[in-house]
Chains A and B, each alone.
Chain A
Amino acid sequence: MSLTTNPSPRPAGTPTAASRSAVEPPRRRSARRTWRTRATPFVFLLPVIVLFVGFKVYPVFYALALSFTQNVGGVTEFVGGANYGRLLDDPLFWTALRNTVEILVIQVPLMLGLAIVLAVALNSKLLKWRSFFRVAYFVPIVMGLVAYGILFSALLNYQNGFINYLLTSVGLPRIPWLTDPFWAKASIIMAMTWHYTGQNAVMYLAQLQSIPGELYEAAQMDGANRRRQFWHITLPGLRPALLLTVVLSTIGTLQLFDEPYVLTGGGPDNATLTIGMYLYNSAFKNFDFGYASAIGYVLAFIVTAVSVIQTLVLRRRAQ
């Protein structure tokens, strides 16, 4: 990350930014040259600086300011920490937080576990048609969240959905996928696992290919079986990719919005209401912008805290 090659000093008089005509005679006015040399990177960075400050940095502070306000009769008033205080006593917020955490602690390990198994299988020379399978598992990721939400809502339909048809045709009862609190969560977990497992497997696969084969040969000579090789060579070798995927999936799942919006609308009985959905409802259904901004800040705090802890724990274990 930190390795950057430095451009060596330019020969004196070389035309720099903006002088595209290139035929300008070499001038030895070093002050001018230095100024231009210094300005060059900022010219290249200008669009990003403007866009980033305008649409990222500024809104972040704007949101902070909003989170201390309330709309009282059409007038925005400063209310101090009232929104944050209200959050603590808001049962719906706690429900949303609990739902989000429940989905997180089940979905992320399930998906990453499957992705590791899949990556090991896809990396195995014993597997036939490897390149076909790599594409097949990766295809769901191109499907947008709305598209796969709609697709799954049709597949999971209680009366006539394809999945319940398959269940009943082998003699199992229908499952109320989207209308029962437990199964609604399970549906969201299933849909997310379907969508993201292949993407994580590809990351593991790349890391696996960087583990030197001699390690396995040496282990085999020492009489280590496949299982021991997996625990003592494969898993430790996967650690950098593991850290990355754990942190990224956690960040993503904590912000979960699209799947419950399309699949369950947060229901039944708020069983799939996530923090992201609650924020959306507060802002764009109740038009309570101050409260929504406070929820956003609490969410950002949780995301940061969790990913910092994960990074520290997983890094320490690596040492």
Chain B
Amino acid sequence: MTALQHPGPRRRREPDPTRSLSAVLTAFVALGAVLMLVPFAWLVVASTHSTNEIFSSPPALLPGDRFWTNLTGLFDSLEFGTAVRNSLVVSTVYTALGMLVCSTAGYAFAKFQFRGRNAMFTVIIASLALPGQVTLVPLFKMMVALGWLNSYQGLILPNLALPFGIFLMRQAMQSVPDELLQAARVDGAGEFRTFFQIVVPTMRPALAALAIFLFLGQWNDFVYPLIVQRDPAAYTLPVSLATLHGVQSTDYGQLLTGTLISVVPVLVLFLFLQRYFVAGLLAGSVKQ
């Protein structure tokens, strides 16, 4: 909020239009930033209060002392701890496998000539416009048939060949100089060795961007896990939270503490890696 009190043009000097414009601009952008961040701040405060305190009038605006009570209550009731573990396992494995699948495909699309390359790539990109809901029912029936309801592989496999990830990796792989690949081959490296020892290390920033996207996507995914994880022991965090939310006598103190727990890990990850995240978001979308 300090920006709002930003001093206007200093007194006893010719008023400088640029300076006052700068102050007004900064004030407006700061106001918007406050609107963006207040819900987070409120979430942090709310997680430290009981439901009554959260909804009292005037509402609690400073942190209280109920955080541990909420947290232990959350982990005691329902299978919240299991959901946290499920989400961690599924998101981590998905991210690792997704990086492998998308980067090998991106490499093939970027660095090899083969029949049907453009057609395949076009189909993969076109599938971006396909509403996810179209395949929801078939995927559910497939998971039933395979006996993969409530399983990790049922959550991980269907979304692994991520079109956006393949696109991102193809864009990135195009910057690998052909001479480098030639040199490796001349030195006698096999194709896999060339890929893992020469190509992958030079792709670190792009892979970081991809990793964030994959992790975030899986961590926050909701509809698909909601329909294929029917057993509370298999719930992921978002499903668990949505279920808690649906309960009549919702304990909002616990619910908001759970929400905070679902946000903080990715928020921290994002703050450390945000330049990669932005790079990934922009990959190929905008001509630089």
> What is A's interface to B at a CB cutoff of 8 Å?
1-8, 10-11, 14-23, 38, 40-45, 47-49, 51-52, 55-56, 58-60, 62-63, 66, 118, 121-122, 124, 126-129, 132-133, 135-140, 142-155, 157, 159-162, 165, 169, 194, 198-199, 202-203, 206-207, 210, 240-241, 244, 251, 254-255, 257-258, 261-262, 276, 279-280, 283-284, 289, 292-293, 295-297, 299-300, 303-304, 307
Output the nearest chain A residue to B37 by Cβ-Cβ distance: A136
Pair A17/B192 contact, Cβ less than 8 Å: yes
Hey, which chain B residues are within 8 Å of A4, CB to CB? 109-111, 113, 174
A-B contact pairs, 10 of them (CB 8 A): A2-B118, A55-B161, A121-B28, A144-B219, A144-B263, A202-B281, A255-B131, A257-B223, A261-B222, A280-B133
Instruction: Say yes or no: A165-B139 contact (C-beta < 8 A), given A154-B256, A303-B131.
Output: no
Q: Give A15 to B35 CA distance when docked, in angstroms.
A: 60
By the criterion CB–CB under 8 Å, are A146 and B174 in contact? no
- Residue count of chain B within 8 Å CB distance of chain A: 110
Dominant secondary structure of chain A at its interface with chain B: helix
| Inter-subunit contact A146/B185 (CB<8 Å) | no
Is the pair A299, B28 in contact by a Cβ cutoff of 8 Å?
no
Contact between A7 and B181, CB atoms less than 8 A apart? yes
Q: A154 touches which one: B28, B46, B185, B286 (CB < 8 A)? A: B46
A71 to B112 Cα, complex, angstroms:
47
Contact indicator A22/B193 (Cβ below 8 Å): yes
- Determine if A261 and B242 form an interchain contact, defined as CB atoms under 8 angstroms apart: yes
Task: Tell whether B96 is near chain A: CB-to-CB under 8 Å.
Answer: no
User: Cβ of A128 and Cβ of B105 under 8 Å apart?
Assistant: no
Q: Tell me, in angstroms, the Cα distance from A47 to B103 when the chains sit together.
A: 11
| Cβ contact within 8 Å between B284 and A1 | yes
Question: Do B220 and A51 touch (CB < 8 A)?
Answer: no
Instruction: Point out the residues of chain A lying under 8 angstroms from B132, CB to CB.
Output: 255
- How many angstroms from the CA of A153 to the CA of B117 in the assembled complex? 47
Docked-complex contact B188 and A15, CB < 8 angstroms: yes
**0 or 1 for each of B158-169: is its CB under 8 Å from A? (1 = yes):** 111100001000
Are B190 and A15 in contact, CB atoms less than 8 angstroms apart? yes
**Closest chain A residue to B35 by CB distance?**
A194
Binding site for A on B (CB under 8 A): 3, 6, 18, 21-22, 25-26, 28-30, 32-33, 35-37, 39-40, 42-43, 46, 54-59, 100-102, 104-105, 107-114, 117-118, 120, 124, 127-142, 157-161, 166, 174, 178, 181-182, 185-186, 188-193, 195, 216, 219-223, 227, 238-239, 241-242, 245, 252, 255-256, 259, 262-263, 266-267, 269-271, 274, 278, 281-282, 284-288
- Which residues of chain B come closer than 8 Å to A15, judged between CB atoms? 188, 190
Known: A144-B238, A151-B259. A47 touches B105 (CB 8 A): yes
Judging by beta carbons under 8 Å apart, are A126 and B42 in contact?
A: no
Partner of B133, one of A165, A240, A244, A255: A255
State how many angstroms separate the Cβ of A46 from the closest Cβ of chain B. 8
Q: Are B282 and A203 closer than 8 Å at their CB atoms?
A: yes
A56 neighbours in B (Cβ, 8 Å): 127, 130, 135, 161
Check B242 against A7 for contact (C-beta < 8 Å): no
A149 to B158, CA, bound (A): 25
Contact between A135 and B46, CB atoms less than 8 A apart: no
Which single member of A14, A49, A289 contacts B185 (CB below 8 Å)? A14
Residues on B with C-beta less than 8 A from A5 are: 111, 174, 178
- A100 CB, min distance to chain B CBs, angstroms: 11
